[in-house]
């Protein structure tokens, strides 16, 4: 009986240790699920993203990115205007309804600028490049993986912070414990205040061999207030 108890103890300990996973190991498994052929660094794609929110009119955004060529463009349509912002290897081109002649007051009122174009480039390449973007320099991956139940489902949760010159927010990424698919991400500006937002991900579109979440539902952390839904309607490979 004594030897049986020892054997059970050792076997149980083995399985507990086998189930433990570090932050970087979890990230690698998640990337293997989403980008099994390691195509992100050479990604060339076009995506149509539609946003709906309770307080505003619908907005559609066509995103074109060619990462190897340092090329990024958004074409945003909302109400009766179309704004194009293009960054081509450092060169910035802005258009309103097809014209590059935009009055300064209109630029200011509509927030049309090269700085915003760069911000949107960072925004879309980050969110639509996850979890691969967590390999970028300046990203600090916590070694400990958290097991957490969120919205009734258990997840493996990865914590990421950033070096000061990169960013100040704290991010959590929720992965399915069996497939390692990314299903939720959450960020805080100041975690002690429960500020920031969480985003629920569902369905997948595969483009260039990469599985990208199709639907993103945004909520405030505080109060679970619904903000908006982004839907990736279609995606294709660019030459």
Question: What is the full per-residue pLDDT of the chain (239 aa) written as tens digits?
Answer: 444 444 444 444 433 333 589 999 999 999 999 999 999 999 999 999 999 999 888 999 999 999 999 999 999 999 999 999 999 998 999 999 999 999 999 999 999 999 999 999 999 999 999 999 999 999 999 999 999 999 999 999 999 999 999 999 999 999 999 999 999 999 999 999 999 999 999 999 999 999 999 999 999 999 999 999 999 999 999 98
Same domain, 141 and 109: no
Same domain, 98 and 164: no
Domain count, the chain: 2
Same domain, 159 and 89: no
Same domain, 104 and 124: yes
d(CA 117, CA 15): 50
Return the pLDDT at 111. 94
Same domain, 224 and 145: yes
Structure tokens at 187: 């960020």
Return the pLDDT at 11. 43
d(CA 213, CA 181): 9
Is 239 part of any domain?
no
Return the pLDDT at 19. 54
Return the pLDDT at 20. 86
Return the pLDDT at 150. 97
pTM score, two decimals?
A: 0.89
Residue 141: domain span: 22-37+136-228
Identify which of 142, 135, 139 has the alpha carbon closest to the alpha carbon of residue 157.
142
Is 33 part of any domain?
yes
Return the pLDDT at 239. 87
User: What are the C-alpha distances in Å from 68 to residues 44, 91, 124, 135, 226?
Assistant: 8, 15, 16, 17, 36
DSSP 68: G
């Amino acid at each position: 009986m004594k030897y049986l108890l020892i054997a059970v103890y050792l076997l149980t300990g083995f399985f507990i240790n086998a189930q433990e996973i570090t932050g970087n190991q979890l990230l690698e498994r998640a990337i293997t699920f989403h980008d099994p052929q390691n195509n992100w660094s050479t990604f060339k794609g076009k995506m149509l993203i539609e946003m709906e929110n309770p307080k505003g009119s619908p907005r559609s955004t066509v995103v074109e990115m060619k990462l190897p060529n340092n090329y990024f463009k958004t074409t945003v349509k909302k109400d009766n205007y179309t704004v194009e912002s293009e960054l081509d290897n450092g060169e910035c081109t802005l258009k309103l309804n097809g014209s590059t002649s935009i009055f300064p007051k209109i630029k200011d009122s509509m927030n049309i600028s090269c700085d915003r174009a760069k911000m949107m480039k960072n925004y879309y390449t980050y969110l639509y490049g996850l979890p691969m973007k967590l390999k970028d320099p300046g990203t600090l991956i916590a070694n400990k993986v958290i097991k957490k139940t969120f919205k009734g489902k258990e997840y493996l949760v990865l914590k990421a912070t950033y070096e000061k010159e990169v960013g100040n927010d704290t991010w959590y990424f929720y992965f399915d414990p069996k497939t390692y698919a990314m299903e939720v991400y959450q960020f805080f500006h100041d975690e002690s205040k429960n500020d920031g937002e969480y985003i629920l991900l569902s369905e997948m579109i595969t483009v260039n061999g990469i599985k990208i979440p199709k639907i993103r539902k945004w909520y405030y952390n505080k109060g679970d207030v619904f903000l908006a839904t982004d839907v990736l309607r279609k995606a294709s490979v660019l030459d």
